Amino acid sequence: MAIDKLLAPLLLGLWLILFATSRYSLSKAKVYLLCLAAAFFIARNLSFFADLSIGSDYFWADAVNFGYFCLPLLFVDTAARSKIALRLVSVNAMFGCISVFLVALGVISLPIQRLSASRVGIEALPKSIGLFVSYGDLAQYAAMLVLIAVFVPAVFANNKSTRRALRLFVSIIVVAGLIGAQSRSYFLSVVGSLSISAILLYQSKRVGIAKSLLVLVIAGLLGAILLPVTYGPIVDALTGMGGSEGVHTARGRLYLYDLAIDVIGRHSIFFGVDAAFYRTSPDFAQSIHNIWLSQMTRGGLVSVLLLMVLLYRVLSRAIRVAKVKEFRHVGIVTVGYMVAVLISTLFYPGDSNLFWTLLGIMSGIVYSVRPEKSKAPSHARPIDAHLRPL
């Protein structure tokens, strides 16, 4: 990751210079993915062109996000770089989970934390997000940590006993993070991604699993869109879940969903709210704990469709990669990661630098191989063929 946000656009410019001077090769598939991401960021800012005094900050923030997505996508194109990226993801995740636990215990103090009634039966234990800026980021990185430890442990070690110790160590860290975060999105993301990856591993040679997975994803997205319309009975059913304040949290979030639908109805359904709305409510979209409603509010249906296509392209590519023996495990991990994305983004907007960085890393890995062939050239392999799960 870039140390300073100014560094992301600068490094992206350097990549473009290398490409223009034929010092760096870029596949058509990656170009297409970059164009999709650029189109998404442009589409959700179209309504700000009427008032640049409001839009300039959002333009710059999205330029940085685009840089955070592009840099790892461009960087990860070999086996060695894929390993470096996965190790960095694992280190970030471990620090995030440990920090959450230590903040909740009061061992360390960080400015970003949330105090509320405990959901794990220890009322003196506060909720925390530690070093990360949102529960959604923490959920995705924790899920990736588990997936890497289970399915591609040779990224860190080739010895079997060391791998077993690694999985035990990761399990303890992830559980500690869950205790500190007390986040439902964290728990669901880890369990959901691990479950889908395990199913895909043992049925990776069957064509039906890929089609079934896509059907489940589409059904899940439709369900998330329809949820605000039918949330009354669902909220009542949550009374006994998530601790003493679980029902109040659910009501508050679903109220925001309802409000978002009302705001969308009063503005352009295709391009979202205008700059005048952001002048009075600059943080409204970010306060909606759902990526689809958040993007509908800010960029309308156009931006939502572009984002869906972007995520679908990465997911479908990962499924294709998982069918190739040499790359199976990295494809399975990416599928699990995409499941974590789809689950966690039902709880948060997903517009952080960490979100776009992790999406860029995993996209770079699966787009650096040739899944249409049984064997890709050695320089194109993101993870060495000797890596084995379990």
Contact 33, 318 (CB under 8 A): no
Tens digit of each residue's pLDDT (9 = 90 or more) over 44-73: 888 777 777 777 778 888 888 998 899 899
- pLDDT interval class at 387 (50, 70, 90): very low
Residue-level pLDDT at 213? 59
- Please give the Cα distance from 13 to 20 (Å, whole number): 10
Contacts of 163 (CB under 8 A, 6+ apart): 153, 154, 157
Say which amino acid occupies 322: A
pLDDT band at 313 (very low <50, low <70, confident <90, very high): very high
- State residue 190's pLDDT score: 92
Element (H, E) at 324: none
Confidence of residue 355 (pLDDT cuts 50, 70, 90): very high
Please give the pLDDT value at position 26.
78
Q: What mean pLDDT do residues 302-317 have? A: 93
- Predicted pLDDT of residue 206: 57
Q: What is the pLDDT of residue 310?
A: 95
Predicted pLDDT at 372: 62
Q: In the Cβ-directed half-sphere of 21, how many Cα atoms lie within 13 Å? A: 7
pLDDT the model gives residue 262: 82
Give pTM, 2 decimals.
0.81
Q: Which helix (H) or strand (E) holds 227?
A: none
146 token code pair: 């588990």
Q: How far apart are CA 152 and CA 359, in angstroms?
A: 18
**CA–centroid distance for 225 within its chain:** 19
Q: What does the alpha-carbon distance between residue 207 and residue 119 come to, in Å, rounded to a whole number?
A: 41
- Asked whether the CA dihedral 334, 320, 376, 326 is positive or negative, the reply is positive
Structure confidence at residue 99 (pLDDT):
92
Q: Taking a C-beta distance cutoff of 8 angstroms, is the pair 54, 275 a contact?
A: yes
For residues 17-30, give the mean pLDDT. 81
**If pLDDT is split at 50, 70 and 90, which confidence band does 234 have?**
very low
Q: What is the mean pLDDT of the chain?
A: 79
Q: How confident is the model over 85-110, as pLDDT tens digits?
A: 999 999 999 999 999 989 888 888 87
Rg of the chain over CA atoms, in angstroms?
21
> Tokens 């776009």 appear where?
356
Query: What's the confidence (pLDDT) of residue 218?
Result: 61
